[in-house]
């Protein structure tokens, strides 16, 4: 399967203007759309009358995927092209044999770790999930450059099947925080401005089954911010309606009022909006060190992950485990999994709240709710 380096063309940067760039192909593609076809010679510059249109089309092209996705795909491309350079392969056009060698190197840990500073030191072997994600990133990059990759080719598919068979492990899911857990976590927060904000984040994220990116992407009112992922509408006697923009379109999430104001997500949200004096723009924002001034900038989704981890540890959740292991159990996804595991209602209601397309996906989130509810050992007479 391997191609001999002597018979394989060396990397030629002229094959791609930006072989390792951060998505230059999108801009180049749009520039080509606005350029007039020349009779001969190099492509002329975009006419001045089309510059504004090119800029608009470029912004739409970049908005086709999220910043996190673009950054991940750019990282995948840099990693692959760096490996090709060291091994003497050309990354373009895509060679199924070369890609098969690449994923084999990733799985075995034989890829040189340039970040470690030792040219002979190998990077840690990648997990099956990471390799599959990296293949998706390469496929996207090749497609954007007009040379699609055939992932079903035997040189790729067979190697990947062997990697799955030899290295696949059950996914390590984050711990779900249940109803009593979230109450204990909220109790660890102070009652100052930062505490009001973080309390609203935890309770709304849990009751809505929201992803951390969805939480920080909310605006106070509709169509209020260009980078927003949704908005909220508060109904005084009922609850809050959260409208979210997902991968497949818009969806609505209903968050009702709780039995107690201390743990009610709607009451917490109202308190944060009132004392934070937030009338428009991003709902959750950074707070300056004086703990009195609210910034205009949107809060990072990393804050949600840190908040869940810090409050879970402070509340003593899973105190039966060592501190180091406990710190690895919790993340922003613990809120979403917690709702699925805590809500003792029909599965279809949980599925709708989480926005899942299939019941099977919802069941993956219900990690503790149905555990040992049905005892087939006793049912069989033992």
- Distance from C-alpha of 115 to C-alpha of 241, rounded to nearest angstrom: 46
H or E element that contains 245: strand 239-246
- Distance from C-alpha of 67 to C-alpha of 230, rounded to nearest angstrom: 17
Q: Which residue shows structure tokens 């209602």?
A: 345
Q: Which of 22-26, 92-96, 260-264 bottoms out in mean pLDDT, i.e. has the lowest?
A: 22-26
Sorted by where each begins, the domain ranges of the chain are 13-167, 179-365
Q: What is the pLDDT of residue 115?
A: 47
Domain 13-167, what fold?
DNA polymerase; domain 1 (1.10.150)
Q: Which of 45-54, 90-99, 109-118, 140-149 bottoms out in mean pLDDT, i.e. has the lowest?
A: 109-118
Handedness of CA 122, 127, 131, 136 (dihedral sign): negative
Asked if residue 202 has pLDDT above 90, the reply is yes
Asked if residue 188 has pLDDT above 90, the reply is yes
Q: What is the pLDDT of residue 368?
A: 61
Asked if residue 28 has pLDDT above 70, the reply is no
DSSP assignment of 1-54 equals -PPPTTTSPPP-GGGSS-TTSSSHHHHHHHHHHHSPPPSSSSPPPPPGGGHHHH
Q: What is the pLDDT of residue 375?
A: 76
pLDDT band at 251 (very low <50, low <70, confident <90, very high): confident
pLDDT band at 338 (very low <50, low <70, confident <90, very high): confident
Q: What is the pLDDT of residue 6?
A: 40
pLDDT tens digits, one per residue of 284-313: 999 998 888 888 888 988 999 999 999 988
Pick from 33, 1, 43: nearest CA to 154: 1
CA distance readout (Å), 59 to 30, 44, 250 = 10, 22, 21
Q: What is the pLDDT of residue 113?
A: 54
Asked if residue 13 has pLDDT above 80, the reply is no
Q: Which of 63-77, 134-148, 358-372 bottoms out in mean pLDDT, i.e. has the lowest?
A: 358-372
pLDDT band at 331 (very low <50, low <70, confident <90, very high): confident
Choose from 31-35, 52-56, 243-247, 267-271 the range with maximum mean pLDDT. Answer: 267-271
Asked if residue 53 has pLDDT above 50, the reply is yes
Question: Half-sphere exposure (CA, 13 Å, Cβ side) for 21?
Answer: 13
Question: Vertex 365, ends 265 and 199: CA angle to 5°?
Answer: 20
Choose from 4-13, 109-118, 134-143 the range with maximum mean pLDDT. Answer: 134-143
Q: Name the CATH superfamily housing domain 179-365.
A: Intergrase catalytic core (1.10.443.10)
Q: What is the residue-averaged pLDDT of the chain?
A: 79
Say which DSSP state 292 is in: S
Percent of the residues in the chain that have a pLDDT greater than 70, as a whole number: 80
pLDDT band at 117 (very low <50, low <70, confident <90, very high): very low
């Amino acid at each position: 399967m391997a191609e001999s380096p002597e018979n394989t063309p060396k990397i030629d940067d002229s094959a791609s203007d930006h072989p390792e760039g951060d998505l230059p192909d999108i801009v180049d593609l749009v520039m080509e759309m606005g350029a007039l076809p020349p009779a001969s010679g190099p492509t002329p510059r975009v006419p001045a009358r089309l510059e504004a249109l090119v800029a608009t089309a470029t912004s739409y092209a970049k908005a086709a995927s999220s910043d996190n996705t673009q950054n991940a795909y750019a990282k995948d491309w840099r990693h692959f092209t760096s490996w090709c350079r060291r091994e003497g392969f050309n990354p373009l056009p895509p060679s199924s044999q070369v890609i098969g060698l690449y994923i084999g190197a990733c799985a075995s840990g034989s890829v040189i770790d340039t970040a470690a500073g030792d040219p002979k030191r190998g990077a840690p072997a990648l997990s099956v999930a990471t390799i599959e994600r990296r293949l998706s990133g390469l496929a996207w990059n090749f497609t954007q450059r007009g040379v699609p990759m055939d992932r079903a080719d035997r040189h790729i598919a067979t190697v990947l099947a062997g990697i799955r068979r030899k290295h696949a492990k059950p996914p390590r899911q984050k711990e779900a925080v249940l109803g009593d857990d979230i109450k204990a976590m909220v109790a660890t927060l102070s009652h100052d401005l930062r505490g009001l904000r973080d309390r609203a984040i935890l309770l709304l994220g849990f009751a809505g089954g929201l992803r951390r990116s969805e939480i920080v992407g909310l605006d106070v009112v509709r169509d209020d911010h260009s980078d927003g992922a949704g908005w909220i509408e508060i109904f005084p006697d009922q609850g809050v309606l959260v409208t979210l923009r997902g991968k497949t379109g818009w969806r609505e999430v209903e968050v009702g009022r709780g039995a107690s104001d201390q743990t009610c997500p709607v009451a917490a949200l109202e308190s944060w909006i009132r004392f934070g004096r937030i009338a428009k723009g991003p709902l959750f924002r950074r707070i300056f060190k004086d703990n009195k001034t609210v910034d205009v900038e949107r809060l990072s989704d990393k804050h949600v992950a840190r908040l869940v981890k810090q409050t879970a540890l402070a509340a003593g959740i899973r105190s039966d485990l060592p501190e180091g292991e406990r710190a690895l159990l919790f993340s922003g996804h613990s809120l979403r999994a917690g709702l699925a595991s805590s809500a003792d209602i029909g599965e279809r209601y949980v599925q709708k709240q989480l926005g899942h397309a299939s019941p099977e996906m919802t069941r993956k989130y219900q990690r503790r709710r149905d555990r040992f509810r049905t005892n087939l050992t006793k049912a069989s007479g033992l």
